[in-house]
Amino acid sequence: DTEVTQTPKHLVMGMTNKKSLKCEQHMGHRAMYWYKQKAKKPPELMFVYSYEKLSINESVPSRFSPECPNSSLLNLHLHALQPEDSALYLCASSQEWTNTGELFFGEGSRLTVL
Amino acid sequence: AQSVTQLDSHVSVSEGTPVLLRCNYSSSYSPSLFWYVQHPNKGLQLLLKYTSAATLVKGINGFEAEFKKSETSFHLTKPSAHMSDAAEYFCVVSDRTGRRALTFGSGTRLQVQP
């Protein structure tokens, strides 16, 4: 199994809603990542988890709250988002948090904030 | 500090003709370099990687890239384009030190004409 599975694929939410994005991998990878991608732009790193501990937070606003319940799961909790947060949110994993760059990406969750 | 420049935002080729996507990098240290591909509404997939072994790197789907240190380039090529190659391509650099974060280029959209 070489997949990273993200749910939901599409999400529409209002600015007062609370929702969560979920990511799962069963490759035994110990590093997991959240990226944000705006249209026609490259992905931007948001968070890195290594061995279930938050290792990088790229100064992401607190309305985005990551959680890593176990080595296979990664969540992104969303609250009080702004319309400019609308984007494709990509989850990725790698065997270790190294610089080899070999990331496995999910297909993303497309978020629209009204 | 590291950076990567993709010299063309858009490349259009005819099916069966060669593909050249250009990438220049800047890195303080010996870099690792990668090409990722993103098909519409999909996640990113690793095409190939350079990590200081052979300078000519072969990837999936007939793509290859050559690391040229003197030119600080890592151009992606394919002898014969296929319709299914139409996608966004990202050149990525990792300097193997420090924060172990990847730096993405701005992307090149490849269009393949029948």
Confidence (pLDDT) at A96: 86
Percentage of chain B lying above the pLDDT 70 cut: 95
Q: What span, in angstroms and rounded, lies between the C-alpha atoms of A97 and A93?
A: 9
Confidence of residue B34 (pLDDT cuts 50, 70, 90): very high
| Closest CA relative to residue B33, chosen from B82, B85, B76, B93 | B93
Q: What span, in angstroms and rounded, lies between the C-alpha atoms of B52 and B49?
A: 10
Q: Report the gap between the CA of A5 and the closest CA in chain B (Å).
A: 10
What percentage of chain A's residues is helix, strand, coil (to nearest 5)? Answer: 5, 55, 40
Lowest-pLDDT range of A97-111, B52-66, B81-95: A97-111
Q: Is the predicted pLDDT of residue A63 greater than 90, yes or no? A: yes
pLDDT tens digits for range A10-39 = 999 988 889 999 999 999 999 999 999 999
Q: What span, in angstroms and rounded, lies between the C-alpha atoms of B39 and B28?
A: 31
Q: Is the predicted pLDDT of residue A114 greater than 80, yes or no? A: yes
Q: What span, in angstroms and rounded, lies between the C-alpha atoms of B55 and A107?
A: 31
Average pLDDT, chain B: 91
Q: Report the gap between the CA of A105 and the closest CA in chain B (Å).
A: 6
Confidence (pLDDT) at B99: 63
Contact between B105 and A97 using a beta-carbon 8 Å cutoff:
no
Q: Is the predicted pLDDT of residue B54 greater than 90, yes or no? A: no
Confidence of residue B104 (pLDDT cuts 50, 70, 90): very high
Average pLDDT over every residue of A97-114: 87
Average pLDDT over every residue of B8-21: 97
Confidence (pLDDT) at B41: 84
3-state secondary structure of B85: helix
Confidence (pLDDT) at B76: 98
Interfacial B residues in 24-63 facing A (CB < 8 Å): 32, 34, 41-46, 49, 51
Confidence (pLDDT) at B101: 74
Confidence (pLDDT) at B29: 75
Q: Is the predicted pLDDT of residue B95 greater than 90, yes or no? A: no
Q: What span, in angstroms and rounded, lies between the C-alpha atoms of A43 and A35?
A: 6
User: In chain B, what residues touch A24 (CB-CB under 8 Å)?
Assistant: none
Contact between B43 and A97 using a beta-carbon 8 Å cutoff:
no
